[in-house]
Structure 1
Amino acid sequence: MARLDWYIRANLRPRHFQLLVALDELRHVGRVADYLNITQPAVSKSLSELERGLEVRLFERDPKGLIPTAFGECLIRFSRSVLRELNTTRDELRHLKAGTTGSIRIGMLPVAAPALVPRSVILLKEEAPATTVVLVEGNSDSLLPMLQEGKLDIIVGTLPSAPRHTGLELQPLHPGEAIVAVCGTRNPLAGREKITVQDLAGYPLIIPPPDAIFREHVDAIMDYFDMPLPAGAIESGSMTASNTFIRDANAISFYSQHLAQHYSRVSGISILPLKMPPAIVTAPIGVVWPKHVEMPASTRLLIEKLAEVIDSVFDTGVEGQGL
């Protein structure tokens, strides 16, 4: 144990962490060599030196590639954490040299992109105008890996379910909101005072992809109404594309209430007066960040601003659900 402690403290270097992460992601010595711009023998030598020094096997050699052992997975997690902290320190030093006060890289899920994050950033910039803000919009499958790799500081939006938040801290800011049916303003259903689920039959349907957090709520609504998934349904993880289909192809979809209200003001979307099951609401809205990571002051300030504006963005009422 004393030798292991000595080896970790005295011999592990950033190049080792980069090597381990690359081996985990690429699983092939040749591809790792190309990625790190070193020779294949150098990759094999460095890995062998690590395994001898730690006195454990980090990867199993398999015909399909390299497979991390339990020891390897442990060290890979540590390597990612160290590299993330190094990236954060590098960015802070750059901003200090440039005379700015900090930076924050924000991943935005679709529910947070139109209003919640922009309004919060406006307040943040009023208090800390020199803070650099980077915004990245995507779904959970694209943003969570970026968060875990240190490419994002936080994600704002619908909180992931238990299987997805391993290694993450979650801070709920809102309990969730109602879901409404929407169509385009030129759709024959738009403007009607009352509709039933049978009125939706025959119109194209836009639904989230299976890996989207919002998809489980749409599935619950369709089960409640006993709506079969129509042949040719379009699965869209893009709000921009979904809005276009709804406007231009007379499609129907289900949106969280505040998104529907937002796009009804700016994008030719109409909320349908379909009475929805009141028990089905979106998952809580909040912030996600990696565990055991020191949160910069700029990130803490943003979370304060998110908490300030969220109630004005998300309406907990059921307007638009029908009577």
Structure 2
Amino acid sequence: MSGLDWYLQINLKARHLRLLVTIDTYRNLTQVADVTHVTLPAVSKSLAELERGIGLTLFSRTAQGLVPTPYGDCLIRHAREMLTILHQARDELKALSSGTEGKVHIGMLPASASALLPQALSLLKHRSPGTNVMVIEGTKASLLPELWQGRLDLVVGRLPPPDTLGSFEEKELLEEPVTLMTGRHHPLARRKSLTWADLHPYPWILPPPGSILRDPLERALEAHNVPLTTNYIETLSVHVARAHLQISDFIAVMAGTPANDTTQPLCTLPLSLPRLLRPAGVLWNRNRSLTPSAQLMIECLEEAARQLRPDHDATAQGTSKSSKAHRINRSVMPLPNG
């Protein structure tokens, strides 16, 4: 066994990992000593021992402070991942010892999964009240790195293009059509049929540039000769969009958003857009084991998706009628002998 192997497998401690991450954060040993409540000589000694044990220089001393070398960058990246795993183990152990059943950390992509995730959370709490959940809303750019680093267990929402997934596993859950929506008072809301030219006079609520929906939306509107005016609002917030539609003549492009919300009812315009987006679904890191809580959450998401599909009510009613007819038929059938 080489000296590097021996040090990493036998002598590397959690305190070394924390030291590396803290130095990388502050790049100054005096600040590291202050935030860790350790003397400056002790911090310097710990770093020197770590570099000597590994046999590599982890930081370069510059006028701007400590800068990680390529060896330092490598070890810091893995240190962050290992600390995340240790924190997750701590949380699971605490949950087990306190009688709860674990915790799942979920990232939710905005402007999607607005019905899917709440339905799944309701199923989860019904099946396992002791399983707790933290939900963080964010963009693909902010949530996928958190998922890769293990700070999130799952990301729920509109699935990104397959070529951006890398080491992530995905499960498609629900097709959510993209529709044009207005407030109930909008001049076009009372029309039973429309042409694309009817949209020209009105301002828009648009997803921001770089979001999953923006580019395919622009291409679809361009194909119908609908110009995007200079009068628009850009947001990924469903709440902002719904609220503004109530008080304006704007048109919004929304995915999977129910029109019949009792507090903020909207109108769906009778114009059909092509399939602009991939289905809503769930992502996880295939290189990390899913906790039992995360596995249960995926099961609840699958069940919620089945309940939200348009054919679910018809299927359920058909099953109910079939069962009722079966019971009636059985009541008039002669019983078998014996």
Could you tell me how far 1:142 is from its partner in structure 2?
A: 3.4
Cα displacement (A) at 1:58: 3.3
Whole-Å Cα distance in 1 between the matches of residues 66 and 260 of structure 2?
A: 48
Structure 1 residues 263 and 151, CA, compared in 2 at 3 Å: closer, same or farther? farther
Q: CA deviation at 1:216?
A: 3.4
Contact 2:181 2:252 in 1 (8 A): yes
Measure the CA separation in 2 of the matches of 1:67 and 1:40: 18
Counterparts of 2:226 and 2:60, CA distance in 1:
49
1:285 corresponds to which residue? 280
Output the CA distance in 2 between the equivalents of 1:175 and 1:234.
28
Give the match for residue 236 of structure 2. Answer: 237
Deviation at 1:225, TM superposition (A): 3.2
Displacement after TM superposition at 1:33 (Å): 5.0
Q: What is the CA–CA distance in structure 2 between the aligned matches of 1:66 and 1:235, rounded to whole Å?
A: 41
Matches within 5 A, 1:13-162: 13-25=13-25, 32=32, 35-38=35-38, 45-60=45-60, 67-162=67-162
Give the alignment's Cα RMSD to 1 decimal: 3.0
TM-aligned CA distance change 1:113 to 1:41, over 3 Å: farther
Provide closer, same or farther for how the CA distance between residues 14 and 217 of structure 1 changes in structure 2, counting only shifts above 3 A: farther
Provide the residue aligned with 2:4 in structure 1. Answer: 4
TM norm structure 1: 0.82
Confirm or deny: 8 A CA contact 2:173 2:301 kept in the other structure: no
Shift of 1:4: 0.9
3-state DSSP of counterpart to 1:189: helix
- Tell me the residue number matched to 1:321: none
Match status 1:275 vs 2:272:
yes
Q: 1:277-297 CA distances to partner (integer Å, 9 max, x unpaired)?
A: x2x331232222234322111
Structure whose alpha-carbon radius of gyration is higher: 2
Stretches of structure 1 that go unaligned for 5 or more consecutive residues are 317-323
Mapped to 2, the partners of 1:283 and 1:185 lie a distance apart of: 28
Note closer, same or farther for the CA distance 1:91–1:229 as it changes in structure 2 (3 Å cut).
Answer: same
1:297 aligns with 2:292: yes
Amino acid at match of 2:208: P
Alignment partner, residue 254 of structure 1 = 253
In 2: Cα distance, 1:298 partner to 1:235 partner:
36
Q: Within 1, Cα distance between the matches of 2:114 and 2:163?
A: 27
Residue 309 (str. 1) matches residue 274 (str. 2): no
Relative to the length of structure 2, the TM-score reads 0.79
Number of residue pairs matched by the alignment: 311
Judge which range, 92-101 or 147-156, deviates more.
147-156
Residue 132 of structure 1, CA deviation: 1.6
Q: Check 1:100–1:41 CA distance in 2 against 1; reply closer, same or farther (3 A cut).
A: same
Structure 1 CA distance for aligned equivalents of residues 28 and 64 of structure 2: 8
Counterpart in the other structure of 1:188: 187
